[in-house]
Chain A
Amino acid sequence: MTVEMLIFVIFVLSVFLGFELISKVPSMLHTPLMSGTNAIHGIILLGGMLALAEADGFMQYTAGFVAVVLGSANVFGGFMVTDRMLQMFKRKK
């Protein structure tokens, strides 16, 4: 199996895993869940770092820098706001 094929397999398996993970979530958690998965795609910060590292010239530097800022806001803000929401979910004392 070529590397590309292997990566494709990972992709397809991830699709099904994502479906399975969420299929039975109570609606009370929809908002935190949306916010939590929103934070996870903040992994684009990795991409921003890789892209900035290999940037050439002013345009690419700028684009890379902005990508890192946006990705960082997405990932840190996302996890923090989700945590802030979830810390309020308490059972009756």
Chain B
Amino acid sequence: MITSLAFLIAAVLFILGIKMLASPKTARKGNFIAGVGMVLALLAVLPQLHGSHGTSVSLGKWLLMCVGILLGLVVGAAGAYKVKMTAMPQMVALFNGAGGGAAALVAAIEFAHLTPTSSLVFVISMLCAAMIGALSLSGSIIAFFKLEGHFDKPVTYPAQQLLNGLLFVISALLALVMTMGSHGMVLMCLFLLIALALGVLMVMPIGGADMPVVISLLNSFTGLAVAADGFAIDNVAMIIAGTLVGSSGTILTLAMCKAMNRPVTNVLFSAFGKVDATASAAAASTGSVKSVHADEAALLLGMAGRLVIVPGYGLAVAQAQHQVRQLADELAKKGVEVVFAIHPVAGRMPGHMNVLLAEADVPYDQLIEMESINPEMDRVDVCLVIGANDVVNPAAHEDKSSPIYGMPIIEAEKSGTVIVMKRSMGKGFAGIENALFLRDNCRMLFGDAKASLQELVTLVKAG
């Protein structure tokens, strides 16, 4: 009774926590409240623990449990406090994979304890938990490596979908045999191995830039696996928490895809970049690239009344968030009104740019979302685009043949002068030309974002 009540309170705290996480003012408190709920749930489960066949838990198991929890705590804390903010997506992937692996193992152990009289509902939920958990584990690990920059290109090979489909059918058949009452562990191990393979095969063909969507999806998968485990071991707290994560994670995944104007199926099942790039080449605008030197750029920035900075993926890669803050501060001292315009998919995952700029002490009310800044862009004197490309490409509005047509963009081209800081004339992640760079009001400042920003800071200070 007390345990059930504690689980109920924990569930309420999770719900409040997620609710508060959705607003910047209360987010930190929300995370804390969810954490309190978690501690409560962990304490409440202690009286429920029992050994096999209803015996009490042996001392050895208690010890093992404590050692395990401590070990996880140390590893988790080390990861959480050591990780660089730019590597945040990788860290989330690893924690998610850990959860998925745990869910699969719990399901496997419960499966070993099945009796011939066990209800079919239990068996099916165990199988779901095992499958989804294992898939989430291996998928997250591949996502981690992709974000670390390994297997750069999407790996594609012929009959990819066919192989995945075949593996899926085999695992469905195995599941059928197991639900029919064959509870052998060999079958279970085979089932888990196939699920692991499916996770690898499904994530390998997806490009590194799409990994955030994949992680978000795998996050909701792990939630569902946990909920399924909750069904299997009859634990309400796990069902509620897992399901909340599963459904909120799905919404989050869809929101990310919407910001990129791509259906989720397109992210998952077709390697991006296969889109016909020749179509947009025909639509290449007339005009020429006008490059500027840092001193001229510094002059333009210093004279601006209103400046909008558009930071992008390139800024995150160059880890130049502190330099950009310095530049903004120096310009503000000279009376320039500086704001940052954040595209929903800027950085390595949606909202990542906000985290990076927050780390560099940029107050979050200086960060303007795309929808709020666009109507004001024509009253902006200078727009400084740093390491962003596709998110400011006017082709998204103008060129119907462009693969990014319809994607919402920050309308940089409407401002008085656009300064684009870029490594080279290379293409963005979408692999298409950017007509913005050829516009009359656009100036290109080539070079490494960090070094260029440093130079600009020095020049603005001196000037």
Name A residues whose Cβ lies closer than 8 Å to a Cβ of B: 4, 7, 10-11, 14-19, 21-56, 59-61, 63-93
Residues of A within 8 A of B342 (CB): 27-28
Q: Are B24 and A29 in contact (CB under 8 A)?
A: yes
Q: Are A48 and B102 in contact (CB under 8 A)?
A: yes
Residues of A within 8 A of B114 (CB): none
Q: How far is the CA of A59 from the CA of B185 in the complex (A)?
A: 11
Majority-rule SS of A interface residues: helix
Q: Can you name 6 extra interface pairs (CB under 8 A) apart from A4-B121, A10-B240? A: A16-B247, A31-B352, A36-B27, A38-B219, A68-B65, A71-B72
- Please tell me the size bucket of the interface on B: 35 or more
The answer, among B67, B92, B113, for a CB contact under 8 Å with A81, is B92
Q: Are B31 and A86 in contact (CB under 8 A)?
A: yes
Residues of A within 8 A of B259 (CB): 27
Q: Are B15 and A52 in contact (CB under 8 A)?
A: no
Majority-rule SS of B interface residues: helix
Across chains A and B, which 6 residue pairs bring their CB atoms closest together, nearest first?
Answer: A72-B72, A77-B76, A18-B247, A68-B68, A30-B351, A80-B80
State whether the Cβ of B289 lies closer than 8 Å to any Cβ in chain A: no
Name B residues whose Cβ lies closer than 8 Å to a Cβ of A: 14-15, 17-19, 21-24, 27-28, 30-32, 34-35, 38, 41-42, 45, 48-52, 57, 61, 64-65, 67-73, 75-77, 79-81, 83, 85, 88-89, 91-92, 95-96, 98-99, 101-103, 105-106, 108-110, 112-113, 119, 121, 185, 215-216, 219, 222-223, 225-227, 229-231, 233-252, 255-256, 259, 342, 344-345, 349-352, 354-355, 358-359, 361, 363-367, 369
Q: Are A27 and B369 in contact (CB under 8 A)?
A: yes
Q: Are A56 and B52 in contact (CB under 8 A)?
A: yes
Residues of B within 8 A of A74 (CB): 72, 76, 95-96, 98-99, 102
Closest chain A residue, CB of each to CB of B236: A10
The contact sample of 23 A-B pairs, CB cut-off 8 A, is: A7-B239, A18-B251, A29-B21, A30-B252, A32-B355, A34-B219, A39-B34, A41-B219, A41-B242, A42-B99, A44-B225, A47-B103, A54-B50, A70-B72, A71-B102, A74-B98, A81-B81, A81-B91, A81-B92, A83-B28, A84-B80, A88-B361, A90-B361
Q: How far is the CA of A86 from the CA of B364 in the complex (A)?
A: 11
Residues of B within 8 A of A19 (CB): 247-248, 250-251
* A14-B247, A26-B24, A68-B65 given; A49·B45 CB < 8 A: yes
Residues of A within 8 A of B28 (CB): 83, 86-87, 89
Residues of A within 8 A of B235 (CB): 46-47, 50
